[in-house]
Amino acid sequence: MTRLLAATTNAGKLREIRGILAGLDLEVLSLSDIAPIEEHEETGDTFEAIARDKALYYARASGLPTVAEDSGLEIDALDGLPGITSARFPGNTFPEKFARLFAMLDARGAATSTARFVCALALAGQGRILFETRGTVEGEITRQPRGTGGFGYDPIFYYPPFGQTLAEIDEARKAEVSHRGHAFRALGAFLRRS
């Protein structure tokens, strides 16, 4: 069985990644399964650049084939914010971050907006990038946060085909349509043929 390091410090991401890769003949290790590695500092200015840097950094430090992803929410009426700043967007809690985003929408005279989640994935090993892909899911921002599933911005991300937010559906159903589901299934297909 091949060992693969899923290099993320985000417990929500890790849970989803393990679920999506579950059918493969892979041992998916997390950062807490290996000797401590100093956290990587993100400096890139695109999802792809950050995912590549993270994958190369943790692959070098661990000596393991490593998958990393950089993800976030792009709100069209806010010119793509919070985007690559999604994790560090101001607010101590997600409800505080939501309130700030709603105030920014108000300032632009927008009640709501189309939006998407983006997941840039990079697989690194032998000192180089072996595979890259990007997954997205299109939806709308809802001003009434709903649901307790998922993580992060899921309660304000309304997915029209389901008529629900991504926090109102279970993890398997989210993975069928999500940015991360698309990206990690593409990784699974790559690993199966290589």
Q: How far is the CB of 109 from ligand ITT (least distance, A)?
A: 26
Secondary structure letter of residue 44 according to DSSP: -
User: With contacts defined by CB under 6 A, how many residues of the chain interact with ligand ITT?
Assistant: 18
182 lies in the binding site for ligand ITT (CB under 6 A): no
Are the beta carbons of 154 and 94 closer than 8 angstroms?
no
Residue 126 has φ and ψ, to the nearest 5°, of 50, 35
11 lies in the binding site for ligand ITT (CB under 6 A): no
So which residues are the catalytic ones? 70
Distance CA(40)–CA(21), nearest Å, equals 24
180 lies in the binding site for ligand ITT (CB under 6 A): yes
What tokens were used for 45? 């200015």
Member of 2, 3, 22, 87 binding ligand ITT (CB under 6 A):
87
2 lies in the binding site for ligand ITT (CB under 6 A): no
Residue 2 has φ and ψ, to the nearest 5°, of -80, 140
133 lies in the binding site for ligand ITT (CB under 6 A): no
Identify the H or E element spanning 189.
Answer: helix 179-193
86 lies in the binding site for ligand ITT (CB under 6 A): yes
User: What residues make contact with ligand ITT under the rule CB under 6 A?
Assistant: 8-10, 13, 70-73, 86-87, 117, 150-154, 178, 180
